[in-house]
Amino acid sequence: MIPSIPQSRFVRFIYTAYVVLFFVYLAVPLIVVAIFAFNDSQFPSLPWEGFTLAWFFGDARPIIGIFHERTILSSILTSTIVGVSVSILSVAVGTTNAFLFNRYQFPGRGFLYVLMLLPLVVPGIVLGISILVFSSTIANAVWSGFSLELETLRPGLGLVVLGQFSFIATIATLVISARLQKFDQTLEDAALNLGADRLTAVRTITLPYLAPAMIGAGVVAFLMSFENFNTTLMLVGSDAPLTITMFDRMKEGSTPILNAVSLLLMVGSSLLALMMILVQRRS
């Protein structure tokens, strides 16, 4: 079942057909979403009422395009702010973690490593509620102890960032560790030998080497934050990120504006991913 092993034409044909079907299956929902963004109709479904760009640029009822739709625009901004925060936090902690696990042998290292992996196997919604419960416990205690209301510990963007960070940090750690592991430590020794001190050596030699992985981890973290739903749902306050806004819209009944948003998302994330691949390839 590799090319060098003779197979009957029939088996080969069936197999190829299967793979083609598989990719069709992967593509169809996305293609459908994209196409109906241009349907001049109130519903993202057949019949096809003609091509329009109104779901992007329309500014009068009945069709208000996304570029004139306040709630959606502001939730895109919210998602971006959350995404950037999560991505910066995750890369920072991911990098320190990578150095810790790669460079230090200490009692409890194995245990901490497994603990670090756990957020990947805890359902997102459970991460969300546990953080919700804990932050409320603190907020309530502060309230009854000092009569002080800590807004940041109530559902809102702060908690959303913390909730997403709690598991995206694991992924950033894994991505960055993988690259740090391949780093030839004698390069750092050479820098020391040439007169650099430990910190300078890390800053001038190791960090540039890690940069592609850090950028990669940052992009992945941003994308994961942008599309996160489960954890966010439990921690969100009045400012809704995009996924939550779209979810609410969809429950009310969808219009092609959702297709338009989705198409923008697809293009945006594909561009980001492409950029990441280019960065990775260059190194």
- Window 127 to 146, contacts with other proteins (CB under 8 A): 127, 129-134, 137
147 binds other proteins (CB under 8 A): no
| Whether the Cβ atoms of residue 210 and residue 91 lie closer than 8 Å to each other | no
10 binds other proteins (CB under 8 A): no
Contacts of 51 (CB under 8 A, 6+ apart): 38, 39, 40
Cross-strand pairs, 62: none
Place of tokens 């009422």: 49
Q: Residue 191, Cα to own-chain centre: how many angstroms?
A: 36
In whole angstroms, give the CA distance from residue 149 to residue 141. 10
Is the Cβ of residue 122 or residue 187 nearer to other proteins in the bound state?
A: 122
29 binds other proteins (CB under 8 A): yes
Taking CB under 8 A as the criterion, the residue among 13, 17, 42, 45 binding other proteins is: 45
| Whether the Cβ atoms of residue 194 and residue 144 lie closer than 8 Å to each other | no
In the region spanning residues 49 to 88, those forming contacts with other proteins, defined by CB under 8 A, are: none
- Binding range to other proteins, per CB under 8 A, among 14-22, 60-68, 70-78, 187-195: 14-22
Is the Cβ of residue 60 or residue 146 nearer to other proteins in the bound state?
A: 146
46 binds other proteins (CB under 8 A): yes
- Binding range to other proteins, per CB under 8 A, among 59-67, 80-88, 116-124, 185-193: 116-124
15 binds other proteins (CB under 8 A): yes
CB atoms closer than 10 angstroms to residue 198? 10
Taking CB under 8 A as the criterion, the residue among 52, 74, 80, 230 binding other proteins is: 230
- Binding range to other proteins, per CB under 8 A, among 49-57, 59-67, 145-153, 240-248: 240-248
13 binds other proteins (CB under 8 A): no
158 binds other proteins (CB under 8 A): no
Angle between helices 242-252 and 70-103 (to 10 degrees): 140
CB atoms closer than 10 angstroms to residue 260? 27
Phi and psi torsions of 19, nearest 5°: -65, -40
In whole angstroms, give the CA distance from residue 45 to residue 138. 48
| Whether the Cβ atoms of residue 77 and residue 87 lie closer than 8 Å to each other | no
In whole angstroms, give the CA distance from residue 141 to residue 124. 26
Phi and psi torsions of 59, nearest 5°: -130, 10
Nearest approach in angstroms of CB 66 to other proteins is 14
Nearest approach in angstroms of CB 10 to other proteins is 13
Binding mask 181-220 for other proteins (x = CB under 8 A): -----------------x----------------------
- Binding range to other proteins, per CB under 8 A, among 53-61, 69-77, 203-211, 268-276: 268-276
223 binds other proteins (CB under 8 A): yes
H or E stretch covering 34: helix 9-35
Nearest approach in angstroms of CB 168 to other proteins is 11
